Amino acid sequence: MNPVAVDLSGRKALVTGGSRGIGESICRLLAGAGATVAVHYGGAKAKADAVAASLAGHGHVALGADLIDPEAAADLPGRAAEALGGLDILVNNAGIYEPHDIKSLDAGEWHEAWSRTIAVNLTAPALIIKGALPHLARGKGHVVNISSRGAFRGEPDAPAYGASKAGLNALGQSLAVALAPLGIHVVTVAPGWVATDMTTAYLEGPAGEAIRAQSPLGRTATCDEVAQVVLLAVSGKADAMTGGIIDVNGASYLRS
């Protein structure tokens, strides 16, 4: 028997922001390992429907929710559990990055950008975890939050993004302790630059070479590399990593 093979047969998973990029890769790996997946989307219904229909196995669903709305965020895991017949795995992947230069925007514009970013990137994951708690399987429940290198190195052009991801790190560590007695494991994954459709404009633009050069590998991470770390985190084979923050940034930023 292959000791690193992952079998998620019978497991039910909700992946926020699952219609594209990292989220789509996570959905595909989870489904490929046997899980039934709820693919959350914000506005891309057709894309989420297509992803759900194309996943390995059967029973997958696409669920829409505007995560800026706290009620929609809180209700999402219950809807997923109802649609899937339970919930074992939650991946908080959805997030937004909105530049908001504190030196150039007026106070109202800056506050609006700050509020939107915190709502989607930090408040929504907290509400989703809370909403998932009655449904997550005891003893084998797994929560993975997708954070960012920006939580550590800062985001001067989008400070709310860096602050939200730093808060997400702290949230994950706090809940890893709080939920351990229930047998629920919480891991945070912190990528650097990842090649996705959202980053194409940056990576193919004038700054692309400099971005790739941030890593001694000379490249960015792939969506599949991030998803593979998530797969290990929910596999049940490495549950002692609960409370951990796992960097996936190609040594572009090293922290002690």
Strands (E), 79-161: 89-92, 141-146
pLDDT band at 198 (very low <50, low <70, confident <90, very high): confident
d(CA 114, CA 117): 5
Which secondary-structure segment (H or E) carries 21? helix 21-32
d(CA 23, CA 15): 7
The boundaries of the domain holding residue 180 are 12-196+222-248
What per-residue confidence (pLDDT) applies to 137? 85
Residue 30 belongs to some domain of the structure? yes
Average confidence (pLDDT) over 171-183: 98
Which secondary-structure segment (H or E) carries 63? strand 61-64
Residue 213 belongs to some domain of the structure? no
Residue 214 belongs to some domain of the structure? no
pLDDT band at 3 (very low <50, low <70, confident <90, very high): low
Residue 210 belongs to some domain of the structure? no
d(CA 118, CA 7): 35
What per-residue confidence (pLDDT) applies to 72? 98
Other Cβ atoms less than 10 A from the Cβ of 255: the count is 11
Residue 201 belongs to some domain of the structure? no
- pTM listed for this prediction: 0.96
pLDDT band at 229 (very low <50, low <70, confident <90, very high): very high
Q: Where does 119-158 have alpha helices with state H? A: 124-132, 150-153
1 pLDDT higher than 70? no
For residue range 124-173, list pLDDT tens digits in order.
999 999 999 999 988 899 999 999 999 999 999 999 999 999 999 999 99
Burial of 98 (0-12, 13-18, 19+ CB in 10 A): middle
Which secondary-structure segment (H or E) carries 200? helix 200-203
What angle in degrees, to the nearest 10, is found between the helix axes of 159-179 and 107-118? 30
Q: Which residues are catalytic?
A: 161
> Which of 58, 113, 67 has the alpha carbon at shortest distance from 93?
67
> Which of 132, 114, 67, 131 has the alpha carbon at shortest distance from 94?
67
With a CB cutoff of 8 Å and minimum separation 6, the contacts of 191 are 22, 146, 147, 148, 149, 221, 226, 248, 249
Residue 206 belongs to some domain of the structure? no
Chain-wide mean pLDDT for the chain? Answer: 96
d(CA 152, CA 47): 32
The number of domains in the chain is: 1
Residue 241 belongs to some domain of the structure? yes
Share of the chain above pLDDT 90, in %: 92
Residue 215 belongs to some domain of the structure? no
d(CA 244, CA 240): 9
Domain with residue 151: its CATH number is: 3.40.50.720
